[in-house]
Amino acid sequence: MKEWRLKQHCRGQLYHGSNYFIPACADIGVATIHDLSVFRLPETHPAERVRQFETHFQATLDRATHLITDTEAIRQEVIGTFAWPAERITTVPLGVSDSYRPRVSCETVEILSNYGLVHGGYSLCVSTIEPRKKIDALLKAYGRLPAFLLKRFPLVLIGGTGWRSEGLHQLIESCCARGWMKFFGFVPQTDLPVLYAGARLFAYPSCYEGFGLPVLEAMASGVPVVTSTDPALAEVVGTAALKVEPDDNDSLLYGVVRGLEDEGWRETVSVAGLKRAGHLTWERCVEQTAAVYRKINN
């Protein structure tokens, strides 16, 4: 009975599958494809997720009227991988909440003190703990910093546990034991904007993304960003961040050092990041998504 009601509800309605899949009952469907990591990097996903895509994703493509991607980089990847018609796929960038904004130390002191942090006294990475985020590369590069920088600017890692991360957690524990790193795991959503705004530098060297929302949140917070040359990340940050090869440890180390010490560069990218983030809002995302709906219905 429940399945019958779902079919009745879907029939003749535009259904937006915001996370890859469209149900079989939908006869007018839009699917948002965030990235193709499960196909490009299956070894970084749990086996059950890979099987889910292998079994059901093609059926979604077969019934989809239109597709949405978060970046042009992924749009081109979907077109090339699945021979998808270019006119039936639209890029709609994600947005950032206005809770992510620059803050002065008197605005952050109460929350930061709960974590044993001081404003401007740490670097930050916010990421799910999983292989393709290249957290291991960041830790290895950061650990090569001069002792005075490690002491002055410990690395703070925030994020829930993903998959295939047992070895990474061992590395995290080792770095924390040396005193230059703090790992907080999952933190309340209400604390995140303050933790971003209090950071001196945000580092996000992921090797593959569909968008990379954390770098946008950091830019909106006025924090200088070092990220990777991944096409989607490069598209999101534009010229408002330093982009390095995530597997080039020397380049990543150079990026972190510059992000911590080069005051001229820091000021330039902070201003550029705020300007860039100002163009990427959830209001704009909603408007562009609604435009896709209208296009389909006309």
Mean pLDDT of all residues in 197-202: 98
Work out how many domains the chain is built from and give that number. 2
What is the pLDDT at residue 7?
55
What is the pLDDT at residue 2?
47
What is the pLDDT at residue 9?
59
Asked if 28 and 83 sit in the same domain, the reply is yes
Asked if 154 and 274 sit in the same domain, the reply is yes
Asked if 59 and 112 sit in the same domain, the reply is no
Asked if 114 and 243 sit in the same domain, the reply is yes
Domain CATH number, residue 56: 3.40.50.2000
Asked if 152 and 174 sit in the same domain, the reply is yes
pLDDT tens-digit series, residues 217-242: 999 999 999 999 999 999 999 999 99
Question: What does the alpha-carbon distance between residue 196 and residue 101 come to, in Å, rounded to a whole number?
Answer: 9
Which range marks the domain in which residue 34 is found? 2-94+282-297
Residue type, 295: K
Give DSSP secondary structure letters for 32-58: EE---HHHH-GGGS-HHHHHHHHHHHH
Asked if 111 and 17 sit in the same domain, the reply is no
Asked if 186 and 243 sit in the same domain, the reply is yes
Asked if 85 and 142 sit in the same domain, the reply is no
Residue type, 69: T
Question: What does the alpha-carbon distance between residue 198 and residue 251 come to, in Å, rounded to a whole number?
Answer: 25
Asked if 143 and 246 sit in the same domain, the reply is yes
Report yes or no: 89 and 78 within 8 Å, Cβ to Cβ.
Answer: yes
Exposure of 196 in the CB half-sphere (CA atoms within 13 A): 31
CA 146 to chain CA mean position, Å: 29
- On whether residue 100 sits in a domain, the answer given is no
pLDDT tens-digit series, residues 255-284: 999 999 999 999 999 999 999 999 999 999
Mean pLDDT of the chain: 93
Mean pLDDT of all residues in 96-122: 97
What is the pLDDT at residue 28?
83
Question: What does the alpha-carbon distance between residue 101 and residue 97 come to, in Å, rounded to a whole number?
Answer: 9
- On whether residue 99 sits in a domain, the answer given is no
Asked if 179 and 258 sit in the same domain, the reply is yes
